[in-house]
Amino acid sequence: AINVTDPGDESRLPNSASVTTYSITFPVISTLSGTDDVDITVALDDTIAAGMSIVSIDGIAIGATSGAIVRTFAFNTTQNITVVYTVANNAAGSTSDITLTATSQSVPSATDNETAIVTIIKPALSVTKEVFTDSGLTTPVAGDVDPGQTLYYRVTVENTGTAATGLMTVTD
């Protein structure tokens, strides 16, 4: 038998200057008798939603939405098949499935597959600025202000997105 282990779903930021690719590993287990070649196929189901592309399968360049390689398995062994992929700058919540299918070349053949769902996550920042007449920030400015009057400001930055934000600077 051939068994593909579920690698789990992933949440990913779109590719950026600092992160250009991501990877996911599918453990493939062979309990076939003897040594057998196994066709490993990887495909994306909906490349429009997350704008994904497969870069490589186990180090072999693909650069498309699907690809295939062959691996030789000895009896009762596990090989970790790594899929490297990119994620486009599409809307947060967009998803694509990466499905890995393993099919033995022996007769009769054995097949198994697993799917990982990749969801795009993004930070969503908002900035608000409030003006107060007291240092305790309890009395908002209402109406006109006198020349020379001391004012106090509170700037609030809030992330309501689905991902943490990196280092940032707020300039007023």
Band of the pLDDT at 69, cuts 50, 70, 90?
very high
Tens of pLDDT, residue by residue over 75-127, are 899 999 999 999 888 888 888 899 999 999 988 889 999 999 999 898 899 99
Contacts for 96-99 with beta carbons within 8 Å, 24 or more apart?
96/44, 96/45, 96/46, 96/47, 96/49, 96/50, 96/51, 96/52, 97/44, 97/45, 97/46, 98/24, 98/42, 98/43, 98/44, 98/52, 98/54, 99/42, 99/43, 99/44, 99/45
pLDDT one-digit tens code per residue, 4-59 = 999 999 999 888 877 889 999 999 999 888 889 999 999 998 656 667 889 999 99
pTM of the model: 0.80
